[in-house]
Amino acid sequence: MLVTFLILFRESLEAFLLAGILIVYLRRLGGQKYVKWIFVGVVAGLIGSFVAAFILQVVVDQFNNEFYRAMLSAGIMVIATGILTYMAIWMQKQARAHTEHAKEQLRNYMTAGNVLGVIMLAFFSVWREGIETVLFLSALAYTGEPISAPGALLGMIAAILLIWLLMTGTRKVPLHLFFQYTSLLLIIIAAGLLGSAVNMLQSAHIVPQTGVLFDISGILPDTTGVGVFLRGLFGYNASPTLPQFALWAIYLIVAVTLWRRGYAAKA
């Protein structure tokens, strides 16, 4: 539930935060009559995300062959890892420029009376994050992590409440710290997805099978108690193979190093 909550909270915050900024900007420009079209775009983006989730599930279900299903599942995990890494390390550097570009587009649409442009701007802001969420949750599901509907709902509600507080409150919320440390969590989750992808490819005999590198299931098993929680959140494996552990460790070292340098440069 915690992983689902974290992903939905983070993704919903990014999507709805931009929509909220656009609404405030419209009102500042005197474009109150266009605000409703932002909401139309947001709703359309959410519907589009559910449609994408359905299509992805239909596509995956077409693969009855275990080999191709493993290939597709591992591919989704790798893609999700790449997007999570991009979000955690590079996206925050471009967030301000992206927001300013969206404002400029909105101003042009309002000046031209382009209602469809306003709707599509809001639509793609939400739909893009929705597609990412679908990929992340699909990748987690293939690792055996149950997707929690209550966790997803709570994540979206929490994001909406936080944005409402930001837009109506007088106190400044340190969002940069939130994004900084949730980015680190996303990197750790991505490392777990990458390790799980290797494990799946080994099971399908695509990556050579190797023996277990070490086994600490006697100390902290990944099938009960805290181990289950760590497996769901970080992809913890009590008995990894050499390729799985090596790729997990290399990715984690490189990604965390880039994350630290990125935020150190902004400090």
Full domain range(s) for residue 147: 2-266
Distant-in-sequence contacts of 209-217, Cβ < 8 A, 24+ apart: 209/241, 210/241, 210/242, 210/243, 211/241, 211/242, 212/239, 212/240, 212/241, 213/239, 213/240, 213/241, 213/242, 213/244, 213/245, 214/239, 214/240, 215/239
Q: What is the pLDDT along the chain (267 residues), one digit of tens a residue?
A: 677 887 888 788 878 888 888 888 888 888 888 999 999 999 999 999 889 888 877 777 776 677 777 788 888 888 888 888 887 777 666 666 777 888 888 889 888 889 999 999 999 888 988 888 888 788 777 776 677 888 888 988 988 888 887 777 655 656 677 777 778 888 888 888 888 888 888 887 888 888 888 899 889 888 777 777 777 667 788 888 898 899 999 999 999 998 888 777 655
Q: Which residue type is seen at 154?
A: L
Task: For residue 241, list its beta bridge partners.
Answer: 212
8 A C-beta contact, residue 126 and residue 45: yes
> What dihedral angle (degrees, nearest 10) is formed by the CA atoms of 227, 228, 234, 235?
100
Number of domains present in the structure of the chain: 1
The Cα–Cα gap between 119 and 130 comes to 16
The Cα–Cα gap between 96 and 93 comes to 7
pTM of the complete model beyond 0.75: no
Q: Which two tokens stand for residue 16?
A: 């709805």
